Structure 1
Amino acid sequence: MMYLLDTANLEQIKRAFDLYPMSGVTTNPTIISKENRNFIEILKGIRSVIGKDKMLHVQAVSTKAEEIVKEAEYLNEVIGGNLYIKVPVIAEGIKAMKILKNKGIKVTATAIFTAEQALMAAVSGAEFVAPYVNRIDNITGSGVNVVDEIMELFELHNVDAKVLAASFKNVQQVHEVALTGAQSVTVNAQIMDKLLEHPLTDWSVEQFIKDWETVYGKGKVTNNL
């Protein structure tokens, strides 16, 4: 499983990459706009924190294929590193994916709500497909079932693209997506922390410390007895 952080906030990114086994960062126009700073400066800041080898997913905002391609080429030149251009699964987006594939620019297909959208994007050259799990749930669908269907279709048709499941509101959704075999998830900083949280874990650690200090003294650890 690859864990990515869905944010453009540098402090959140620094913390997550310090603590957790992070594979990259995903952004979108909404996330970027929340930072209210120069777009390129934000992306360069993220790249400087995560390094050139970690994945950075950045969305093109144009809705015409030729303009999407121009955005992708510009971002690839200015930001560089292990960069993926996020392209929505609209008709012009699919056209852009085919062009970008031929140009050797990596693509993440985004705004996916059905398995068929994901399959067409993958066949068109997308390396990752990003189904919106919670948003599917909110329209009386099942985001986890859609992810499962995508995984099944990719196996049936021998497709190399990977699933980058997105749009989570709770840990249970992440857990259920992981059980489908999806290769990666992108979550916000709060959910990333909650993937580890459990009250009995905290209780166990506190009990270990209490029992240890009863015998060896407060503040003592194994290497300073």
Structure 2
Amino acid sequence: MKFFIDTALLSEIEEAASLGILDGVTTNPSLMAKVGIQGQEAIYQHYKKICDLVDNNVSAEVISTDFEGMMKEADALAGIDEKIVVKIPMIPDGVKAIKKLSGMGARTNCTLVFSAGQALVAAKAGATYVSPFLGRLDDISMDSMEMLGQIVNIYQNYNFQTEILGASVRHPMHVITAAEMGVDVVTASLKTLKALFQHPLTDVGLEKFLADYQKSQK
């Protein structure tokens, strides 16, 4: 499983990369706004800074909702760095753009996916990644894990090459359950990724080992 970090904060990306487990970054306009990045030129410059921190896979989202606008933005985003994956929403014109871009060899991430049917459409259009949103489904009392399992089964049935990218990941159990299902990628906050390292028995065990070592030095 690949680990992406869902942020636009450079310090968080640097910290995640320093852990040695980071495979990519996902961002969106909301995350950019949170760190005070405004205006197209500033956003594009920030994407470049992110690309300079990671080896590959930086999802950069289009703002347009019409086919022509998305294609124009996709061209500009892809021109920032070869690591860019163009993030496109699951809407009819978005699917058309994904199909066109995939035919041109561009990498795409179909975002805002909330059903297995949407994921099926994205795969047929040739998306590189499909991003089912887990936490947001849980927020409205729907079973995100059931949806995720459906997507995994459908993709296996037809040998789709589109990678499943679990998004809106809220806690470590989202990550673990997705890994058990064979999901290709998860994108999560730095806090969630770091929580995977933690267990109280590890802390207790380390404390005991260190205490015993100190005793042996007396």
Q: With the length of structure 1 as denominator, give the TM-score of the two structures.
A: 0.92
Equivalent pair of 2:88/2:108 in contact (CA under 8 Å): yes
Cα deviation digits, residues 135-182 of structure 1 (max 9, x gap): 111222111111110010011122111100010221112211111110
Cα distance in 2 for residues equivalent to 1:139 and 1:34: 24
Q: Which residue of structure 1 aligns with residue 209 of structure 2?
A: 208
Q: Distance in 1 between matches of 2:15 and 2:99?
A: 36
Measure how far apart 1:215 and its partner are.
1.3
* Aligned match of 1:126: 127
User: What amino acid is the match of 2:5?
Assistant: L
Q: Structure 1 regions of 5+ residues with no counterpart?
A: 218-225
Query: In the TM superposition, what is the alpha-carbon distance from 1:33 to its structure 2 partner?
Result: 1.3
Distance, in Å, in 1 between the alignment partners of 2:123 and 2:160 is 7
Alignment partner, residue 150 of structure 2? 149
Residue equivalent to 2:3? 3
Matched, 1:67 2:69: yes
- Look up the equivalent residue of 1:17 and give its one-letter code: A
- Secondary structure at the aligned position of 2:193 is classed as helix
1:48 aligns with 2:52: yes
Quote how far apart the aligned CAs of 1:209 are. 1.0
CA shift for structure 1 position 31? 0.7
Is this contact kept in 1: 2:51–2:83, CA < 8 A?
no
The alpha-carbon deviation at position 83 of structure 1 amounts to: 1.7
| Distance (Å, rounded) in 1 between the aligned partners of 2:187 and 2:111 | 12
Give, as a single letter, the amino acid of the residue that structure 2 aligns with 1:66.
Answer: E
Which amino acid letter does the alignment assign opposite residue 88 of structure 2? V
8 Å CA contact retained: 2:89, 2:110: yes
Counterpart amino acid of residue 81 in structure 1 = E
Q: Deviations over 1:37-73 (max 9, x none)?
A: 32122111111111xx321011111000111111010
Give 1:81 deviation, angstroms: 2.3
Root-mean-square deviation over aligned CA pairs: 1.1
How far apart, in 2, do the equivalents of 1:20 and 1:133 lie? Answer: 25
Counting only pairs closer than 5 Å after superposition, residues 54-93 of structure 1 correspond to structure 2 as: 54-77=56-79, 79-93=80-94
Question: Deviations 1:70-90 (Å, cap 9, x if unpaired)?
Answer: 10100111x212221111110
Quote the residue 1:199 is aligned against.
200
Change (3 A) 1:129 1:213: same
Asked if 1:36 is matched to 2:36, the reply is: yes
List 4+ stretches of structure 1 deviating above 6 A. Answer: none
Output one character per residue of 1:203-223: Cα deviation in whole Å (capped at 9) or x when no partner: 111111111121136xxxxxx
Q: Per-residue deviation at 1:14?
A: 0.5
Rg bigger for which structure?
1
What is the rounded CA distance, in whole Å, between the counterparts of 1:94 and 1:14 in structure 2? 33
- Give the match's secondary structure for 2:53: helix
Query: Pairwise mapping of residues 88-103 of structure 1 onto structure 2 (< 5 A)?
Result: 88-103=89-104
- Equivalent residue letter for 1:73: D
The alignment's TM-score, normalised by the length of structure 2, stands at 0.95
- Summarize deviations over 1:91-119 as a string: whole Å, max 9, x none: 11011111111221110110000011011
SS in structure 1 at match of 2:81: coil
